[in-house]
Structure formats: C-alpha cells, structure tokens
Structure 1
Amino acid sequence: MTKIELGRLGIWRPWSELDPDLAKDVEDLGYGTIWIGGSPRGDLKIADRLLAATDRIVIATGIVNMWDTPAEEVAASYHRLDQAYGGRFLLGAGIGHPEATQEYRSPYETIVRYLDRLDAADVPVEGRVLAALGPKVLRLSAERAGGAHPYLTTPEHTRLAREALGEGPILAPDQKVVLDTDPERARALAREKIGFYFKLRNYVSSWKRLGFTDDDVAGDGSDAIIDALVAHGDPAAVTARLAGHLDAGADHVAVQVLTERGGDPRPALRTIAETLPPR
C-alpha cells in the first residue's frame, strides 16, 4: 500500500454531526479528507455511508478508541472498507484520555499491544495513524504506523512533531477555527467547545511542554492559550494559522469549524476553501 494522499486540508467533525450530504458538499469544496471524530464505533458503518456518498475524498477516523474497540473488530472494518473503497480509508486510532476510562493504565504498552494485534490482522502500517501528542508516541507513530494525527495543538507543536517523526510519515494535526472578527465572542464560543479539555491531564501536559503556564491552563484557559489553540478572526487570519501548520511541517490540516449547537459548518468551510484552496 502506498502513502495515502490526504490533500492539504480536510475537515474534522464528530461522527454524530456527519452525514452523506455534508460529506458530498465537503468533497465538492475541494477538501481532501473527512476525519470522523468522537470515537466512532468499531463497526465503522458511518465510514461506509460517507464513502458511498462520495467519489474521491478520503475518510479517516479521528479516532477509534483503543479502550472501547477491540483491534480485531476494527481490523475487520478496515479490510471491508479497503476492499470496497481501496485507497480512500485511513484508520486513526488512539487511547483517548485517562479521565474517560476506568481501566486506563500503561498507555504506551497498550498502544504497542494494540498495534501488534492490528499487525496480526494484516492491517498495513501505511493504512493507520496514531493520535499522538508527546515525543514517545510520536516516535512510535513513525515506527509502527503511517504517521500521526495530533489533536488540539499549535503550529509550534507541529514543528516539534515533525522533528520527532522525521521526514516521510504523515503529520495531520487538527485545527479548531471560529470565523468571527469579534474576539470576545469567538473566545466565548471556543471556551464553550474546548473548556473541558483543561481538566484532562494529557492535554494539559502537552500544552505545558509548549511553554504554557499554570495560569494559562487554569479554569477554562487564559486568552493566550485560547487564541493559540483556536484560530479566530477574519478569513485571512484563520487561513494564516492553517498555513502555519503546513509551513511547520504538516502534510495536512484537519479543520474543525466551531459553531453554535446545530450550526452549519458549510459557510465557514466554503470561505476557507476560497481563501486557502485545499489542494
């Protein structure tokens, strides 16, 4: 299997907010990949529906949770999708965060054992990427997977991740965006959507490695860290942040448009595609 082509830009959206109509519209806008977020079920029926509705776009999981989904189940889903839509499905897997899983222990060893089971089920290295924040799992992403899908990071993290991965492996960070020129309103929406991550120690540890302080990560985050994690402003400001990841070594950026509950991401995705063409 050759390295999968993701395009410069894709979208990240919780599985519960994805449907075939949105997938087709995103493909028509020129985006290269749709990342299915929110720990989709191992049967990956949502990926089936999105792939069937589209012709070109890659569908990736961002991510299948290793604690919730046996490797053998997701391997069977991988082979089903690869056989039906060869070259258009990418398996993203990871261990999530410890606060969500009572059995969370020995995370690195758990990832290694999971990858061993995927190997035994003939899931190719190039067909999978790992959720990775710290240097140890980033190196594992280069050694045992096709690359890494870091979540809720910054272009500086992307630069460090590329150094850890080396040349060749896929580096596909996500970037949250709010197209709103009112900074207070944009930050309020950002805090509403990502505030709970400030209670999760793996994310907090990652941000501190980037130089953020205890004050930055207290409560639901300082303005400085919110601005670093969520790109907001006019289209030029938002797309400059996306370009910053690409300039720092990313192959691809997964754009997560933050909207009010039930909001439609299409207008923002269309504006971004017009300002920074996805391909």
Structure 2
Amino acid sequence: MDIGPVGVWGHGSWSEFGDPSALAELEHLGYGTAWLGGSPPADLSTIEPILAASTSLVVATGIVNVWDADPTVAVGGYHRVAAAYPDRLVLGIGAGHRPLVGERYTKPYDKLVSYLDVLDEGGVPESGRVLAALGPKVLRLAGERTAGAHPYLTTPEHTAQAREILGPDKLLVPEQKVVLSTDPDEARALARERLEMYYRLPNYTNNWLRLGFTEADITDGGSDRLVDALVAWGDEEAIRERIQAHRDAGADQVAIQVLNENRLPVLRALSAALV
C-alpha cells in the first residue's frame, strides 16, 4: 500500500472536502492519505464516500475508539470497504481518553489487546491496521501486532523515540498541526485555541512530561515553548523544516492537520514544499 510521504488529517466526515473536485485536487497535489479523526463509527461508513469520490487516496481512521466501536462491527466494516477499495484502507484504532470515556475506561492496554484479538479472529490483517500510540508500552504493542503506529500531538523527538521502539520496518505516521502564518501572535493564538482541550487529557500531558516539558508549560494556555513544539507555524519553508524533522527522526509519513480556517488553500500553498 502506497500511503505517500504526506497525509492530511481532518476531523469527522471531511465535509470540507466533500466535493469530489477537492479530493481530486488533493490527489493531484500529491497528498497520499486522508486521516479521519473524531472517532469514526465502527462500520466505517464515513470512509466510503471519500474513497468513492477519489481514485488513489488511501483513507485511514485516526482513530476508531475501542470503547465505542464494537470490534465485530469493525471487522465487518473493514472487510466490506477493503473488498470494494483494495489497498486503500488503514484501520487506525486507539483507546481514547479517560475524561471523555468515563468509568468504562479501565485497563486501556488490556482493552486494546482484546480488541486486536477480535480483529485477528475476524481476519483483519496486521498490515491493514495501526495503533494510536504514545507511551512505550503501546508503541511496543503496535510493533508486535499491527503495521505500526499513528502518534497524535507529538514532536520530532517523540518520533525518534517511537522509531527506536517500533524498529526499522514498522509504519510510523505522526500527526503534525500546522498554521501557515508568519505573525507569531496570530499563529500562537490560533494554536492555543485548538490546543486548549488537549491540556485536560492525561494521555497527552503525560507524554509531554516524558518529553521534558513541565507542568508550568501546560498551564495558562501553554507556554510558547510547548505551543511552538506542538504546532508548526511560519511560512512554507518553516513548516517544511518541521515535517522534515519528523522524517529525519524516522517517520514514514507525516499527517498534517491545518489549523487555518480554510484548509484547502493552505494545502495548495504547502504542497510544493512538502510533497
């Protein structure tokens, strides 16, 4: 499966790119994969319109939430979509977050293992699935039982650590938020607006602490140091340098999430530098 060196990460149903001409343009610009965030449903029904409206885009879930998505339904959805669109589907799965899941969120590692067991029993191949992985334990699980890992909201330093844990032959696709703006106040304000919800999610904050950030970096909207590490901003060359840093650290693909209000014009502007 050719996922390409750069993917595009978006929330929900990808409604902004619902026009087939927009999807065709993304393909023409060289973006290889559409990553669907926002916990897509287990039956993968939101994937099919994107696949049907494009000719070569790989579509990946980033991620199906194991607490909400019945694994047997995910098995059926995977086989239905993969049969209709061979070599264009990646099933990304993950354990979500305790503050959002509530009391069901117990032993998330064990839940991931049992979910993978059901996928195995249903014939979903390891080559067709990845894990949302941040910490070493889940990264090792991703390397042992899936095609690789899709870390979210991380840094090139984390990418290097993830590559070391996964080994040289596993897929590694970090997500990277970007703002195309050379005004630091404007760029950081937009970044902080989009990062606010993540400061309340321990999966992310614990990972940042492991990377050397402090509790002070996470308070009061996040320090400039943290914001600048998590969100690449500046002109096309500045963003290219951040994407290249992930590649140099071992990423196979970088899934960029544009935070500017209108994503497609930014993706057009970035394509020459990134793809």
TM-score bracket for the superposition, by shorter chain length: over 0.9
Question: What residue ranges of structure 2 are gaps of 5+ in the alignment?
Answer: none
User: Which residue of structure 2 lines up, in the alignment, with residue 42 of structure 1?
Assistant: 42
User: Which residue of structure 1 lines up, in the alignment, with residue 272 of structure 2?
Assistant: 274
- Listed one character per residue, the Cα deviations across residues 43-87 of structure 1 (whole Å, up to 9, x for unaligned) are 222210000011111000000000000111111110001100000
User: Which residue of structure 2 lines up, in the alignment, with residue 97 of structure 1?
Assistant: 97
User: Which residue of structure 1 lines up, in the alignment, with residue 263 of structure 2?
Assistant: 265
Question: Structure 1 residues 140-149 or 19-28, which shifts more?
Answer: 19-28
Question: What residue ranges of structure 1 are gaps of 5+ in the alignment?
Answer: none
Q: Does 1:127 align with 2:118?
A: no
User: Which residue of structure 2 lines up, in the alignment, with residue 82 of structure 1?
Assistant: 82
AA aligned to 1:52 is A
1:17 CA displacement: 3.6
Q: For the residues of structure 1 that align with 2:99 and 2:141, how far apart are their CA atoms?
A: 23
- Listed one character per residue, the Cα deviations across residues 142-165 of structure 1 (whole Å, up to 9, x for unaligned) are 001000000000000000000010
Contact 1:196–1:220 (8 Å) recurs in 2: no
Q: Does 1:6 align with 2:3?
A: yes
Contact 1:13–1:36 (8 Å) recurs in 2: yes
Contact 2:37–2:61 (8 Å) recurs in 1: yes
Normalised by the length of structure 2, the TM-score is 0.96
Contact 1:198–1:219 (8 Å) recurs in 2: no
AA aligned to 1:118 is L
User: Which residue of structure 1 lines up, in the alignment, with residue 227 of structure 2?
Assistant: 226
1:23 CA displacement: 2.6
Q: For the residues of structure 2 that align with 1:47 and 1:138, how far apart are their CA atoms?
A: 25
SS in 2 for 1:221: coil
Q: For the residues of structure 1 that align with 2:10 and 2:24, how far apart are their CA atoms?
A: 14
**Percent of residue pairs identical:** 52
Contact 2:133–2:151 (8 Å) recurs in 1: yes
Q: For the residues of structure 2 that align with 1:98 and 1:112, how far apart are their CA atoms?
A: 17
User: Which residue of structure 1 lines up, in the alignment, with residue 70 of structure 2?
Assistant: 70
Q: Let me know the Cα RMSD of the aligned residues.
A: 1.0
Map residues 41-190 of structure 1 onto 2, 5 A cutoff: 41-102=41-102, 103-190=104-191
Contact 1:138–1:161 (8 Å) recurs in 2: yes
Instruction: Describe the shift of the 1:17–1:51 C-alpha distance in structure 2 as closer, same or farther (beyond 3 A).
Output: closer
Q: For the residues of structure 1 that align with 2:14 and 2:119, how far apart are their CA atoms?
A: 28
- Listed one character per residue, the Cα deviations across residues 1-59 of structure 1 (whole Å, up to 9, x for unaligned) are xxx32110010000244343233321121101000111111122221000001111100
SS in 2 for 1:141: helix
- Listed one character per residue, the Cα deviations across residues 149-201 of structure 1 (whole Å, up to 9, x for unaligned) are 00000000000000010011100000000000001110100111111101111
Contact 1:23–1:34 (8 Å) recurs in 2: no
Q: For the residues of structure 2 that align with 1:55 and 1:28, how far apart are their CA atoms?
A: 10
Question: Structure 1 residues 56-65 or 25-34, which shifts more?
Answer: 25-34
SS in 1 for 2:127: helix
